[in-house]
Structure 1
């Protein structure tokens, strides 16, 4: 095992080194090289370690089956390491347990079968005595005593039978007069319920053989019992013993339906009971015991055709006159055909075999069970196609039509894989994600497009996992990357369906040999023939080019993300099972006092705000020593943090507060409601400060985004206030996430770069101040606005260094509108000299 683990580590490190070297030589960014390298190294580790740990996982399944009584499972023990030795020891233990269990069941079945005949006869005799049908004369009592003695003898005999599998059973040979034995056996059935006549024939009349009388009587009794059971009412069962050339023959014939030739051999198997149409019935042990007795005496037994002109079953046992005294062989165990009737005490059928546990089950089993999700080759092929499309459309292209196509292909894959796709909430999330992805088609401003795509990913994760609260949101965000590891068993099942083989190593070996053969022979033929080299170069990309390396890394990364998302959709984790402690505190003051303290601090802050407003700027600057602009700039960030913390305080207090009494609910509404109202005033103060700051220093993307973020926090406070009044807030987490995504869509809808340019130009017209360099760095979305409002000063804000789309994959509406203007401008060397009002905001 140490040697194998060393090879495993060496292989993983080698793969990581090769991939990292290829990425570095191809100019792949580090942020893309590292995750792809780690993922491929983990994949190699999982693939190689799966075979090493497979016997251990098989033992887990086998142990569970053995606990249910199924000892037939065996472990693959081909390896020569410590795990292989353990597997072989496990197989030996399972075989021993299976043999012991089989002997126990056979013993119970044999005993129950053999005791039935004498017990039936004794019960009939005693019933006749009790009802006065028979007199308790010495002959009748001796018959009853004989049945009781036979029961005692049968118990000893069946114990011998149970020891057949464990060792040899000796024979106690003595001369046996066949007529006396057969007539005695026939008399045992006269008190039974079967209306059958038994005829005994012995030729010659004084036929005497060397045999074990107890075993021989057991043979005759089983054959006669079988024959009388299948004979019609008032039928005749014939027992014939005749001398033969090398021994003697015992035949028992009935007038029943007989046994089909194809079923005759199976009738002597243990539990090989025939169906009623085949002349069977009973437990299927009588004839098996009869075969064992004949084998014990060195003879044979079989069904033969009935005599001419007669019907029914005819059993013939050929026995030697003087049997060998050696040990008898164990009864033959032959497979029972599927048409056989069940045994009287069958082994309980094993429950449906659980799937072989994977190496990830112990890590994620409780929180994220595998549930045996079947393989889906179409989804795997779809995910690979998404990766290939991403490798073609994303590298060396700006966000645009190609990005939208990749997102739509991935989104449709997740939607098709999710079993929750018919739910209205899932459909609504899919529509919202499509709208967020469409921003790449309409806006050139990468900052808003990337934010929309991130929000779309969060919405998609929430829809796939059906998350409903903040803890489940956190778990859902983690579950997507973790799905790449958790979904390895499902990927293995999919690969087995796709390749038709269960050996992942064989698939990898086949791929490696194929690639090696292609490389060697293609190189030889390319060096030998120029035409072949030209053709091959046209079909196969330049594997050594940096562009190809980047595309491969992007394809693997995006394809892996899509594949992990597919498994997340097929088998989402139980995110709602993750819960934080929500038990209310014992005393009301434990939560109420901290909330009231926070309320007091908010009240003091609002009083200070009122003093600043009504006292005027002179009073403020004289009191604090700060200018009003410095005051506005310093306070906005703190107010935003205070708003976020207020939401956390409301959430924590609502979980810890008791709601049992009216007073509890009233205090909860008043204390938290007052805090929410004062928080809304803080939000209004923060927005006012940002408005003053933008008037003084201009408008930027970050300031616009922060302004919208503060407004979103105010919306959450309003929603919290509404939920707190009804004391029901399960809808709040989803509302917060969806409303945030909708606000991002709103920002994208107003064309934020054009909006920022328009407001900066308004400020320029009012104050004569503007940052021309900042305006020149805005995306193509702002070009139409700048071109329409700047006359004679277009060189200050519009530059010719804007790259035109190389292919149709980069097309979007913002760039298309900018290109349609056909502006030709130059970059000014000095903004302060050429452009009036230049100021760095």
Structure 2
């Protein structure tokens, strides 16, 4: 009697274990056939869409053939039963013949339908298999080849959307790598200069003077501007997919405030600001417009070779156009769209004078912000006189 009691006690203790601890199947349970692995092997069709469709279609065809066959047989037997057949076993022979005929016809019909259905399903699911394979490669960090669309149905549209998604993802990855490369390149020169000068000062090779300290300050200020603008660019990129807090903005007052903040810079550089602004109400985020104007004016002051900068704002039907014009170094027509890209400079040699020519991120931030407002940005130039402009939708009710 002790062995059964011990068995019951052990079983009761196992039941008291937490649900998360599932004991392995015992030999006795395997002998009884309680093995989920074998069940899963027989349920393989649940993991394949083609097998599901074939089984469902085969089941429907079999039911239809069986119903039609039974109906035809019953009808034929009822018709034949009205007539007296020759011989004693005439009726039985007829029934047996009908059974054989119906079985053969049913089997052949099911096989023929299954073959046609398999070929059709294979062609339909082929692009889905390619999409699945490409998706797995993308999850592993690779850029697979685009899947060619084979139709104009839902699967064809899904394939085209997947290809567009893959292209966008690849462009994003390329932009990320290019951005990292540009950042490392931009940081290398000023950091090398700072390290070199500081090392020379600490070792006594150089003696500090006003010009040296001014040079170190300019390098430090450049690094500060670069980090700040990288932060601004990151912030606006992060806000791209977030909801906007739109408000009515008096563009005339906002532009006057932005221009006033550059009055000291204008007097310091001896550059005259010529302003002509029309009234207008736009729907946007006020801090975004301030950032746009700040970057456009900074760009004009930084690259201007003349004695004046002109700022105009005017209504053009359903949009409001702001233009900041200045005289500067020639910008070839074929690269005018590139000036709004990150770290792009018309003259790469200007990198040596970073304290004067900026980080190469100001206009790209303008482009990012304008994209958020569904606005437009562009550059018109006659060679040496450049017009940087942006356009916002107007609030037509005002």
TM-score bucket (shorter structure): 0.3 to 0.5
Between Structure 1 and Structure 2, whose CA radius of gyration is higher? 1
TM value normalised by structure 2: 0.41
TM-score normalised by the chain length of structure 1: 0.23
